[in-house]
Chains A and B, each alone.
Chain A
């Protein structure tokens, strides 16, 4: 039984049907990459899973719970965190306050502090800047904050949307190292990326999305050798 199952998902974005019958699954412990061009519907799928966009039809099941009817604010409590596209850290709040909001649904102060220490251990730069307003951080630091904030909810699965966006190649490599580490420590990862090369390099399996439909799927290592994928997404 898969941890997260998406079945024949249809989603409307305004009047346009953005997702036209997508099915995929994520097993516990995996890193799954969802790759595709701009506008293929990757972000829409993540937003639909965490309830920010309503489902038109289809099924989203997470550990036996139906997510289609679950309001967005109840999903993080179920063990699913979402690092949204463009980081969306709370710019007017400090790094520390952002991290506390990540643990909003948790009650135990001691456990929250333990998570905070773990996040600071994973991202030492966030500790250095804990009193600074999030809006004053660099792009890479904001990405780390968005990831740290998601980890503060102690998720079993983490959805990451374009973590490489707008970052230098060096920082991208650093962020992907961290994603691998997070996965190694036991968190399942569903990764949406335009940077297909990086995504495939750390994923177990991948799905290729084209204008709202799945075009290809398979083991990441196989997709990396696939001629279609090579020419369309890996720059020849």
Chain B
């Protein structure tokens, strides 16, 4: 395989990380919490598609839409039931709750689908693109890059150009001042969870199509990587999550290709540590002003 092919596959993996990282970073920015159950939403999305396609024989596009709906509702419900009652609790309580939700989702998946991995039928039917004898780009890679690019552009426009988007920015900067403007903070947080979970569903569809396996722990590692990507880009920053995700995917794939496939994950985390040593707020992160 050539460098270009490693690089393009890295871009594809990285853009999936970016989609997941957006969920982390938006929830952190707006609800001021780390939602460690976010990665498991990917897994739920994957299982919805798996069930819809294999058991119910639905066409892939319908299965993906179903996954988006299920994950969106699930994200909003989790926030309402598990996190909202802790809105004024210490952040460590919220963090522990999030980890608890993560275990709950993983164990529920094991209960329903068993402990083993299942083969996942790709939702992508685009043929691979054969550029020359040495270079072929898979349909999954092409679709992933196109879909994530469209989503990221759309999300950027939504946040910066719509009233709801501006309300999200206002809540993330100063919750109290946002309330004084008449912004319903609880509603804004629900919308954020809905968007983040919908993106996780799409990420689940793309990820499971590229790496055609699904199990209860499918979301765990991508979730952690995406969290690293969000921190790498500057947690709370939307463009930071996009850049961080893509960069991480490319670094991971190139490390696998040229250094060691076993050390790739270690290298990814080492890069994070180096970035945080040089710039503790991440690439595009801002210093948080502590409010008295």
Q: Any chain A CB within 8 A of the CB of B93?
A: no
Question: In the complex the two chains form, is B173's CB within 8 Å of A104's CB?
Answer: no
Q: Any chain A CB within 8 A of the CB of B81?
A: no
Q: How far is the CA of A89 from the CA of B289 in the complex (A)?
A: 13
Question: In the complex the two chains form, is B173's CB within 8 Å of A91's CB?
Answer: yes
State which residues 255-271 of B face A: CB under 8 Å: none
* Beta-carbon nearest neighbor of A50 in chain B: B180
Stretch from B140-148, B161-169, B207-215 forming part of the interface with A: B161-169
Question: In the complex the two chains form, is A105's CB within 8 Å of B176's CB?
Answer: no
**Min CB–CB distance A224 → chain B (angstroms):** 31
Q: Which of B163, B179, B181 contacts A102 (CB 8 A)?
A: B181
Question: In the complex the two chains form, is B180's CB within 8 Å of A82's CB?
Answer: yes
State which residues 46-63 of B face A: CB under 8 Å: none
Question: In the complex the two chains form, is A76's CB within 8 Å of B180's CB?
Answer: yes
**Min CB–CB distance B287 → chain A (angstroms):** 12
Q: How far is the CA of A91 from the CA of B177 in the complex (A)?
A: 12
* Beta-carbon nearest neighbor of B176 in chain A: A52
Residues of B close to A100: CB separation below 8 A: 163, 166
- The CB with the most chain A CB atoms within 10 A, among B163, B177, B286, is that of B177
Q: Which 10 A-B pairs have the closest CB atoms?
A: A105-B182, A72-B179, A76-B182, A88-B177, A104-B181, A73-B184, A104-B182, A101-B181, A73-B179, A82-B180
The number of residues on chain A lying at the interface, defined by a beta carbon within 8 Å of a beta carbon of chain B, is 27
- The CB with the most chain B CB atoms within 10 A, among A51, A52, A97, A104, is that of A104
Q: How far is the CA of A93 from the CA of B195 in the complex (A)?
A: 22
Task: Please list 16 pairs of residues, one from A and one from B, whose beta carbons are closer than 8 Å in the complex, sorted by A's number.
Answer: A71-B179, A72-B180, A76-B180, A76-B181, A76-B182, A88-B174, A88-B176, A88-B177, A90-B170, A92-B169, A93-B169, A100-B163, A101-B178, A101-B183, A104-B181, A153-B181
The number of residues on chain B lying at the interface, defined by a beta carbon within 8 Å of a beta carbon of chain A, is 18
What is the 8 Å Cβ interface bit string for chain A, positions 151-188, against chain B (1 contact, 0 not)?
00100000000000000000000000000000000000
Q: Any chain B CB within 8 A of the CB of A74?
A: yes
Question: In the complex the two chains form, is B173's CB within 8 Å of A101's CB?
Answer: no
State which residues 78-98 of A face B: CB under 8 Å: 81-82, 84, 88-93, 97
* Beta-carbon nearest neighbor of A100 in chain B: B166
Question: In the complex the two chains form, is B182's CB within 8 Å of A93's CB?
Answer: no
Q: How far is the CA of A121 from the CA of B39 in the complex (A)?
A: 51
Residues of A close to B169: CB separation below 8 A: 90, 92-93
* Beta-carbon nearest neighbor of A52 in chain B: B176
What is the 8 Å Cβ interface bit string for chain B, positions 167-199, against chain A (1 contact, 0 not)?
101100110111111111100000000000000
Q: Any chain B CB within 8 A of the CB of A113?
A: no
Residues of A close to B176: CB separation below 8 A: 52, 72, 84, 88
Residues of B close to A102: CB separation below 8 A: 181
Q: Any chain B CB within 8 A of the CB of A201?
A: no
Q: How far is the CA of A102 from the CA of B184 in the complex (A)?
A: 14
* Beta-carbon nearest neighbor of A91 in chain B: B173
* Beta-carbon nearest neighbor of A76 in chain B: B182
Residues of B close to A71: CB separation below 8 A: 179, 184
Q: Which of B167, B179, B182 contacts A52 (CB 8 A)?
A: B179
Residues of A close to B163: CB separation below 8 A: 100, 104
Residues of B close to A221: CB separation below 8 A: none
State which residues 232-282 of B face A: CB under 8 Å: none
Q: Any chain B CB within 8 A of the CB of A226?
A: no
Question: In the complex the two chains form, is B183's CB within 8 Å of A73's CB?
Answer: yes
Residues of B close to A136: CB separation below 8 A: none
Contact A93/B180 with A73-B185, A104-B163 known, Cβ cut-off 8 Å: no
Q: Any chain B CB within 8 A of the CB of A38?
A: no
State which residues 7-65 of B face A: CB under 8 Å: none
Question: In the complex the two chains form, is A84's CB within 8 Å of B177's CB?
Answer: yes
Q: Any chain B CB within 8 A of the CB of A77?
A: yes
Residues of A close to B185: CB separation below 8 A: 73
Question: In the complex the two chains form, is B166's CB within 8 Å of A97's CB?
Answer: yes
* Beta-carbon nearest neighbor of A159 in chain B: B180
**Min CB–CB distance B237 → chain A (angstroms):** 10
Q: Which of B166, B179, B183, B184 contacts A93 (CB 8 A)?
A: B166
Q: How far is the CA of A72 from the CA of B178 in the complex (A)?
A: 10
Q: How far is the CA of A206 from the CA of B169 in the complex (A)?
A: 37
**Min CB–CB distance B157 → chain A (angstroms):** 15
Residues of A close to B179: CB separation below 8 A: 51-52, 71-73
Q: How far is the CA of A76 from the CA of B182 in the complex (A)?
A: 6
**Min CB–CB distance A194 → chain B (angstroms):** 16
Question: In the complex the two chains form, is B184's CB within 8 Å of A92's CB?
Answer: no
Q: How far is the CA of A90 from the CA of B163 in the complex (A)?
A: 14
Q: How far is the CA of A100 from the CA of B163 in the complex (A)?
A: 9
Q: Which of A52, A91, A97 contacts B180 (CB 8 A)?
A: A52
